[in-house]
A and B are shown apart, each in its own frame.
Chain A
Amino acid sequence: MQRYSIFSLARNALSHHRNWQRAWRSPAPKARYNAVIIGGGGHGLGTAHYLATEHGLTNIAVLEKGWIGGGNTGRNTMTVRSNFLREASVPFHEHSLDLYRQLSRELNFNTMTNERGMITFIQSSAVNRIAMQMANTMHIYGADYRVIGLDEVRRRIPIFEPAEDMRMPIHGAVYQPRASMVRHDAVAWGFARSADARGADIIQNCEVTGILREGGRVTGVETTRGVIHADKVGMAVAGHGSVVAGMAGIRLPIVTQPLQAWVSEPIKPVLDEIVVIRSYFGTYLMQSDKGEIVVGQGCDPYPSYAQRGTFPIIEDATTAMLEVFPSFRRLKLLRHWAGMLDMVYDGSPVISRTDLKGFYVDLAGSGGFKTTPAAARTFAHLIARDEPHPLAAAYELNRFSNGQLIPEGGVSANR
């Protein structure tokens, strides 16, 4: 692997940047691997990275039906945070933030992690209660999450000027200083480059069409580029969980729903923090490094694999945004897109073994960009050792039979 540094930049500048190596190879699939990962998003590529670096498994492949990072990884709004309600959730999501903090160094790839903080407005007493409970749970784990008054909100967000006649007036906010934005493509590319350098094959344009089984064990996969045998198969196909697991006759506790986001034309810097309006269910916005105002909300409220959303969500979110930031009225919408989320019944991730031996599933669930490094690391552990990583032991599918659900529905809405 060609290391990136100020010196390599200078050296390559001398040759007019014509001698950079490719960041990863593009090999033909082998007939057999120790393990294959289905899905070349951040989760799948990260899993390959940790399999190689932490478990010495390098005869592995990541199979991606399109191009890597072209699914939800390249479509999300890049927000990572750890404000959650349940005990099982906080350490896992905090670990993800820890991993994100040093990911640029670990991967020698600039992931542009930017700890800009997140402010969630409190607009009802119900939300105030949830915020307090959440803050208390998080304090147990040493995570900084605190209620702030309107003075501090005004100081942090100078353009904050909510309408006088707001339907749900803002009484205060909760603030997570460590919430960050991370460049999503860089996460996929950095993991891919690192896994590739250690011997993993990253195979694009290779769709898995069948799961091979023999006597209750997985033996490989059928793909559009031929049969590939493997002792272990890990699935990380956010938005297609039921389709791929269905190939192995496995039913999952998920519904696939579209999630939309859109951005305005770029403007000068006006907003440092990530802002959440109408609390945990509502609208969120932030300003990208390029200057665009990025806006998102909850899922479209019905199942869909369409990778596009419908208009009511945009209208609803825009209304909420303009109540707080009337000056954004003049912004023009520049781009709009959607991805598909595998919404898990209780709103928490699934990182689990299945009834089919050697077949493992990682369901990113609603907001899986924030979990990418922690999920990938614990998924790699599960695949390599066939037993869960302590941080993700609560995330196995057996929680749906033993009743130990981890309800995060309301609070993990997307982003």
Chain B
Amino acid sequence: MLLIPCPYCGERNEHEFVCGGDAERMRPPSPQDLDDAAWQDYLYNNTNAKGWVRERWWHVLGCGRWFEIERHTVAHAIRQPEGSGGSDG
């Protein structure tokens, strides 16, 4: 059972959240300038890292807030992202 730290509600059961995936994935600022390969990479490919990842989570059955955490995909440890000061995304 993961305990996800919501910046507003504190630690809550994973059941209340939806994982929004890789926080480093950003929509390219001007898609029209990309070639097909780069656009495809943005749409479908994932870094899918084994180790620390930075993720967006959504407290959908709680306060409704989106925020970021860092999570270790093997150990399932969770920490606040660096320099986020308790990020509220």
Chain A's interface size range is 20 to 34
The reply to whether A304 and B48 contact each other, CB–CB distance below 8 Å, is: no
Partner of A303, one of B14, B15, B43, B53: B53
Q: Which listed residue, B19, B44, B48, touches A242 by the CB 8 Å rule?
A: B48
Contact across chains for A252 and B46 when beta carbons are under 8 A apart: yes
* Interface residue A20 (Cβ < 8 Å from any Cβ of B): no
B18 within 8 A of A: yes
* Binary contact track B1-44/A, C-beta < 8 Å → 1, others 0: 11000000000011100110100000000000000110011011
Report whether A303 and B44 are in contact in the complex, using a CB–CB cutoff of 8 Å. Answer: no
Main SS class of interface, B:
mixed
A399 to chain B, nearest CB (A): 10
The answer to whether A270 has its CB under 8 Å from any CB of chain B is no
Nearest-neighbor residue (CB-CB) of A251 within chain B: B45
With A310-B2, A311-B1 known as contacts, the answer to whether A254 contacts B46 (CB < 8 A) is yes
**Chain A residues in contact with chain B, CB under 8 A?**
240-243, 251-256, 301-306, 310-312, 345, 400-401
- 17 CB < 8 A contacts A-B: A242-B47, A242-B50, A251-B46, A252-B45, A253-B44, A253-B45, A254-B46, A255-B21, A256-B73, A301-B19, A302-B19, A305-B73, A306-B73, A306-B76, A311-B1, A312-B14, A312-B15
Q: How many residues on the B side are at the interface (Cβ–Cβ under 8 A)?
A: 26
Residue of B nearest to A315 (CB): B15
- Tell me the minimal C-beta distance from A258 to chain B in angstroms: 10
Interface contact A242-B18, CB-CB below 8 Å: no
Return the contact of A253 from the options B1, B13, B36, B46 (Cβ within 8 A): B46
Contact A400 B40 (CB under 8 A): yes
Q: How far is the CA of A253 from the CA of B43 in the complex (A)?
A: 9
Question: Shortest distance in angstroms between B55's beta carbon and chain A's nearest beta carbon?
Answer: 8
Query: Is B1 in contact with A312, judged by CB distance below 8 angstroms?
Result: yes
Chain B contacts for A400, CB-based, 8 A: 40, 43-45
Q: In the complex the two chains form, is A303's CB within 8 Å of B1's CB?
A: no
